[in-house]
Every structure is written in C-alpha cells, then in structure tokens.
Amino acid sequence: MWVEDWTNEAICRKSTPDELFVRGAEQNKVKQMCQGCPVRTECLAEALDNQIEWGVWGGMTERERRALLRRRPEESWREVLQSARAQHAAAVV
C-alpha cells in the first residue's frame, strides 16, 4: 500500500536538516537510518520525481539518485517503485 502523506510515518521526521543533509561518510549513517523506515520507497520516489539534488532520501545519496535519473530520465519513479513493491509482495506470498 502506498502512503500518500508519507512524511508523518518517516523515521527521520524528528531529525534536524543538519542531520539529514550531510556529506561524505556521514551519509552512510543517514542511509542506515533509512533501512528500517516504513516509507522509504515513498521518500525515494519523491526525491527522484522532483529531482531533489541534496541530502539522503529513501536511503540514497544525491550521487546514487543522479545515476538512476541518467539511466531512466523520463520515468515516473512513483509508478516504477509502486509496481516493484507490488511484484515483491506477490512473490513473497
């Protein structure tokens, strides 16, 4: 199920921007926080569809997101990630 108002469910919702918009090795700490987030996929889709340039979103750094966008620039990432989530859920059952 896709969560429309995902920010209320995000693990990082109580973090300060300074904790989330970091550089270098500090990004790995933020990415670890994302691993257990229930709305990681929604967060990532938001960043990709809106081409957000800074920070860690959905467990990916800006460099990682740019690489995805270069490979598939015209995609609706929400649709791609929703479909992938549905396929994974069907395979698990």
- Nearest-10 crossing angle of helices 62-71, 40-49: 60
Token pair 């550089």 in the structure block, residue: 23
Does the annotation list 2 as a binding residue? Answer: no
Does the annotation list 37 as a binding residue? Answer: yes
Longest dimension (CA), the chain: 40
d(CA 68, CA 45): 11
Residues 33 and 11: beta-carbon distance below 8 Å:
yes
* Rg (alpha carbons) of the chain, rounded to whole number: 13
Does the annotation list 34 as a binding residue? Answer: yes
Does the annotation list 45 as a binding residue? Answer: no
Residues tagged in the binding site annotation for [4Fe-4S] cluster: 12, 34, 37, 43
Residues tagged in the binding site annotation: 12, 34, 37, 43
